[in-house]
Amino acid sequence: MGLSRKEQVFMALLGASGVAGLTALILFLVEAASVLRPTDIKFGIVFDAGSSHTSLFLYQWPADKENGTGVVSQALACQVEGPGISSYASDPAQAGESLQGCLEEALVLIPEAQRRKTPTFLGATAGMRLLRQKNSSQARDIFAAVTQALGRSPVDFWGAELLAGQDEGAFGWITVNYGLGTLVKYSFTGEWIRPPEEMLVGALDLGGASTQITFVPGGPILDKSTQADFRLYGSDYSVYTHSYLCFGRDQMLSRLLTGLVQAFSNFYYTFHFLNLTSGQPLSTANATIWEFCQRSWKLVEASYPGQDRWLRDYCASGLYILTLLRDGYGFSEETWPSIQFRKQASGVDIGWTLGYMLNLTGMIPAEEPAQWWAQSHSVWVATVVFLVLTLVAVLGAAAVQLFWVQD
Ligand SMILES: *[C@@H]1O[C@H](CO)[C@@H](O)[C@H](O)[C@H]1NC(C)=O
Ligand SMILES: *[C@@H]1O[C@H](CO)[C@@H](O)[C@H](O)[C@H]1NC(C)=O
Ligand SMILES: *[C@@H]1O[C@H](CO)[C@@H](O)[C@H](O)[C@H]1NC(C)=O
Ligand SMILES: *[C@@H]1O[C@H](CO)[C@@H](O)[C@H](O)[C@H]1NC(C)=O
């Protein structure tokens, strides 16, 4: 016996509701799986208030973090107009004002809703260390002025502080090793791995008025004042770090350096200018620097038109670097090739700021990754249409069952 008309229509409507319902479910699941909302991005700002100038660095990282330390990249580096904040002793308010231009540049890159949540720090180094030695009340006034200026801006300002030379060295070491992927590295298999400790590199930094050396020593550190301990990515590090303030110890050196450090003075820039950043031997570096220094000023000026601003400093700073590395730190012809002169590692400027930020992001609470079902509009419309079809078919089937009078 075949099905009656009523049973045939009922079965057809039931089948249609099943197909439409299943389609809606599949659309929902497929879309939800492929369009997981990307992780929120967080931002942080660090002002590096150096002796000759101030720089702003804007960093960003995903809100969900790896073992308590953010995966941070550099979104902006901005050079503040004018001299370092320690030069504003006679007009401290101007020190605060000078930071506004770069801060505005950074704010453009931060979504409005994130700005108030963006931790902002100012760290001052050797220039302010020297000013504090000379006249501590002037240094205090400058800190008060920059704190007031940044406190008024639409960010989460955490404070301005004077970094100890040791911190500067340790944070520089963290920056370099983070950038080179020797602290933690994203592997081909998509996991975070910790490379062996032998891969860690030391860091040498020549700032405007101080120089730092930081490395993991082969043996125990006897002088505890040169030891810095910290924990990153769930593991403990103990480094030797020493900072030398260039001024103050020796008036002769001080007078020589006063000219040297105005606005620039840095291992990388000097050696880059002298074409010595591609692993040349010590003898080549020595010969190149002496050859450059012995050229007549007329010849030098003619060879590098338009570069006169720094040109007069390259000879002195080249000789200073050579002396510092060879006679100061004891690098020899054999160990010299292990020095790499670099400005950046993985798109991040080498300096203490990223390490400082990395350390501080450990204090910013990690949020749950956002897992909204963020369907795209067309798929959402199709899902709703199939849901409505399902409903219509189900209601139709019910109506057939209830109201269709059997033939
Ligand atoms: C420090 O600076 C303040 C203000 O510029 C000045 O009044 C004071 O005499 C200075 N102190 C010293 C020890 O130079
Ligand atoms: C993160 O922590 C876990 C557990 O403490 C550890 O097994 C893993 O190696 C750590 N990852 C890194 C990259 O240090
Ligand atoms: C560095 O090399 C460039 C070309 O590669 C050359 O023009 C320049 O003169 C060199 N600089 C020095 C200081 O020798
Ligand atoms: C990083 O911050 C912690 C406090 O959160 C501190 O104990 C530690 O010494 C800092 N690391 C360095 C290298 O200063």
Q: With left for phi above 0 and alpha for psi between -120 and 50, is residue 190 left, alpha or beta?
A: left
pLDDT tier at 187, thresholds 50, 70, 90: low
Q: How far is 269 from 309, CA to CA, in rounded Å? A: 13
Residue 181 has pLDDT above 60, yes or no: yes
Res. 372: pLDDT tops 50: no
Average confidence (pLDDT) over 307-331: 84
The confidence score (pLDDT) of residue 324 equals 84
CA distances from residue 168 to 161, 172, 255, 355 in whole angstroms, order as listed: 12, 6, 24, 9
> By mean pLDDT, which of 89-93, 289-293, 333-337, 361-365 is the weakest?
361-365
The one catalytic residue in 31, 105, 168, 197 is: 168
CB 163 within 8 A of CB 124: yes
Q: What are phi and psi of 58, to 5 degrees?
A: -105, 125
For helices 308-323 and 282-294, give the axis angle rounded to 10 degrees: 140
For the chain, what is the mean pLDDT? 83
- pLDDT for 366: 32
Short-list 35, 109, 103, CA closest to 73? 109
Say if ligand 3 is within 6 A of residue 49 CB. Answer: no
* pLDDT (0 to 100) of residue 377: 59
Predicted local distance difference test score (pLDDT) of residue 189: 62
Neighbours of 116 (CB within 10 A): 10
Q: Which residue has the higher pLDDT, 67 or 161?
A: 161
**pLDDT at residue 247 in the model:** 42
Active site residue 105: no
* Nearest-ligand number for the alpha carbon of 355: 4
Gap from CA of 133 to ligand 1 centroid (Å): 12
pLDDT digits (tens, 9 = 90+) for 67-91: 555 578 899 999 999 999 999 999 9
Tell me which ligand sits closest to the C-alpha of residue 273.
Answer: 3
Task: Locate 344 and state its tokens.
Answer: 């950046």
pLDDT on residue 45: 97
Number of helical H runs and strand E runs in the chain: 14, 13
Please name which ligand lies nearest the alpha carbon of 285.
Answer: 3
Q: What is the pLDDT of residue 192?
A: 65
Q: Is 145 in the pocket of ligand 4 (CB under 6 A)?
A: no
In terms of pLDDT, which residue wins out, 176 or 28? 176
Higher model confidence: residue 391 or residue 27?
391
Q: Tell me: pLDDT of 5 over 50.
A: yes
d(CA 102, CA 388): 54
Judged by DSSP in three states, 182 sits in: coil
Provide the pLDDT for residue 255.
Answer: 53
- Tokens encoding 222: 């006897």
Note the pLDDT tens digit of each residue in 99-132: 999 999 999 999 999 999 999 999 999 889 989 9
Which residue in this structure is represented by tokens 């240094």?
Answer: 139
Indicate the pLDDT class of residue 335, thresholds 50, 70 and 90.
very high
Is residue 170 in contact with ligand 4, taking CB distance under 6 Å?
yes
Identify which of 65, 178, 192 to mutate to test ligand 2's pocket (most ligand atoms within 8 A of the CB). Answer: 192
**CB of 359 closer than 6 angstroms to any ligand 1 atom:** no
Whole-number pLDDT of residue 308: 67
- 332 touches ligand 1 (CB under 6 Å): no
Judge whether residue 97 has pLDDT over 90: yes
Does ligand 1 come within 6 angstroms of the Cβ of 137?
yes
The whole-number pLDDT of residue 373 equals 36
Percent of the chain at pLDDT exceeding 90: 36
Per-residue pLDDT band at 299 (split at 50, 70, 90) = very high
How confident is residue 92, by pLDDT bands cut at 50, 70 and 90? Answer: very high
| Closest-CA residue to 274 (of 264, 284, 263, 259) | 284
**What local confidence, expressed as pLDDT, does residue 249 receive?**
37
Asked whether the predicted pLDDT for residue 248 surpasses 70, the reply is: no
Q: Which helix (H) or strand (E) holds 204?
A: strand 203-206
> Average pLDDT in the 43-60 region?
94
Give 1's pLDDT tier (boundaries 50, 70, 90). Answer: low
Our mutation pick for probing the ligand 1 site, out of 133, 135, 143, counting the most ligand atoms within 8 A of Cβ, is: 135
348 and 73 Cβ atoms separated by less than 8 Å: yes
State the pLDDT at residue 407: 63
